[in-house]
Structure 1
Amino acid sequence: MTEFAIVLTTMPDDDRADELARALIVERLAACVNVHGPMISTYRWKETVEHAAERQLVIKTTRDRLAALEGRLRELHPYELPELIIIPVDGGSDAYLRWLRQETQRGGIDES
């Protein structure tokens, strides 16, 4: 099993996306969060076809932080059923992956 993972989720607006991204970084649950969008998502929810503007978050983390990351995402997420897709990372730049590992080690950081 690979040590690193990318987690995908969506949020309804910039403020909530930024709030989640910042919390994950401050709490060292992720090394980097990219926020993309706005984009349009079309999906079926409770037998209704929905069409909504969302932001996609691409979250870089380590496998050992996934459970805590998922818990925090569920706490902060406004959706009843938030998207949570985990993609294993098979490889990458050695220097980047070292940095990713270092930034997700336990311990807090200054929020400034």
Structure 2
Amino acid sequence: MPAAVLHCSCPDAETAARIARALVDERLAACVQALPGVTSTYRWQGEVQVDAETLLLVKTSYARIEALKSRIAELHPYELPELLVLEVIDGAPDYLAWLEAATTATASR
């Protein structure tokens, strides 16, 4: 059962919470953690930018990745949101089973 963690930075805690709730409510993610206090330094439109952000760590099944990316793009205020998918190569079997169940329409846990 392939699983993934998607990184997505948000401009503030309110935006992060709104996106996290929607993803879990819609079963696109089993769990979303919001890490406040992230400072991002990046180049955008030819200029170096430094911004305070909240980082979302979105746990999901690979089967939901495309729908998840599409939904985040719809909900996100950034022109180009960070959507980095990291493959989970191993994990606690019970946790991975829960993750799979939580991202299907018939989940009961």
> TM bucket by the smaller chain?
over 0.9
Contact 2:16 2:56 in 1 (8 A): yes
Distance 2:86 2:107 in 1: 25
- Alignment length (residue pairs): 108
The one-letter amino acid of 2:53's match is E
Aligned partner of 1:8 in structure 2 is 7
Superposition TM-score, scaled by structure 2 size = 0.94
- SS of 1:80's equivalent in the other structure is coil
Match of 1:39 in 2: 38
Aligned mates of 1:93, 1:69 — CA distance in 2: 23
Using the size of structure 1 for normalisation, the TM-score is: 0.92
- Give the partner amino acid of 1:81: L
Please state whether the residue corresponding to 1:72 is helix, strand or coil.
Answer: helix
Are the aligned partners of 1:5 and 1:86 in contact in 2 as well (CA < 8 Å)?
A: yes
Gaps of 5+ in 2: none
In 1: Cα distance, 2:12 partner to 2:59 partner: 20
1:7-86 → structure 2 map (5 Å cutoff): 7-86=6-85
Give me the identity figure in percent. 44
Letter in 1 for 2:35: H
- Structure 1, unmatched stretches of 5+, are none
8 Å CA contact retained: 1:27, 1:107? no
Q: 1:36-95 CA distances to partner (integer Å, 9 max, x unpaired)? A: 012111111001110100000000000110111001000001111100100111110011
RMSD of aligned Cα (Å): 1.5
